[in-house]
Amino acid sequence: MKVAFYDAKAYDREAFEKAVEGTELELVFYDFRLSEETASTASGASAVCAFVNDQLDRACLKALVGQGVKMLAMRCAGFNNLDLDSAKELGLSVVRVPAYSPHAVAEHTLALLMTLNRKVHRSYNRVREQNFSLNGLVGFDLNEKTVGILGTGKIGRVTAGIFQGFNCKVIAHDAYPNHQWADDTGVRYTTLQDLLTQSDIVSLHLPLTDDTYHILDADTIPRMKQGVYLVNTSRGKLIESEALIQALKSGHLGGVALDVYEEEEGIFFEDKSGTILQDDKLARLMTFPNVLITAHQAFLTREALAEIARVTLANVENFRDEKPPLEGTSL
């Protein structure tokens, strides 16, 4: 069974080539993204493997079906770039990897916060230039700070546990609270308003839906505590970029750490070092000394890549063998 694999990076190839050993699957890797214009390259493939920035709109899905594709395997948790209604209408079987490694993303969340707070990135650059001054590198203790976890799925819960290891007070908000977990861990659920006003640190771990789109915007960001640190390792469109910039300019936010950006498509995952950045909002965010940005790398650990490959290929094999997909992976 042939599988067309899009937006393939070196780390994708390495993980999937290892996982496909011993199977009868044939993987064909393409560096470019999947869209209506590139869907013809799926000719002869029964399944395609896509990622977060592939353009899986109705036109693309119709083109895939026209090429004989019967299955779409998302090698990620999010699927906001996928027209799921059209996929169902066209008879495409769709699966994803909902929980490849909550530890990878949770640990990167803390890495971003610690780096930004303690100015590790600035210190690193100074020392390389033999500047050993400590001026401007003052941070704060995490001990006894109040951390607001916005979204308590697997990643949010793991992140909360790590913060508790720093002796932080953790509060949380979720439309679907996990009260048993909260009772077991001592985390307290509260309203979004209370979380924003009480938290010294706010960490986002929500899926992108109609209800969560721009959940932090020109109305909600000013409600946050003065000097709050904001971390987003979830989805870029949870935050309205213009409102974020205004809050940074006014000094309301103490620091912002982002692994995602609302208009990251076509920028993140690519080498743009030889070009002029055309996104004015991203360029502006990068000018703030209290903003730290990584390019959607929170998932990028050996363990996570191996699990993504394992689950994705297991679902493809199950589809070939007319077996149900792995529990919790079907869309």
Catalytic machinery residues: 235, 264, 296
Spatial neighbors of 77 by CB under 8 A, at least 6 apart, are 96, 97, 98, 99, 100, 207
Spatial neighbors of 47 by CB under 8 A, at least 6 apart, are 1, 2, 3, 4, 69, 70, 71, 72, 73, 316, 319
Locus of tokens 């308003």: 193
Contact 76, 97 (CB under 8 A): yes
Contact 29, 5 (CB under 8 A): yes
Pinpoint the alpha helices (H) of the chain.
10-19, 58-66, 84-89, 102-117, 120-128, 154-165, 179-185, 192-198, 241-250, 280-285, 302-320
Closest of 57, 114, 48 to residue 89, by C-alpha: 57
Report the Cα 5 to chain-centroid distance in Å: 20
Closest of 47, 111, 109, 53 to residue 80, by C-alpha: 53
CA angle 162, 163, 166 (to 5 degrees): 100
Contact 232, 208 (CB under 8 A): no
Contact 176, 150 (CB under 8 A): no
Residue 215 — φ and ψ, nearest 5°? -65, -25
Tally helices (H) and strands (E) across the chain: 11, 12
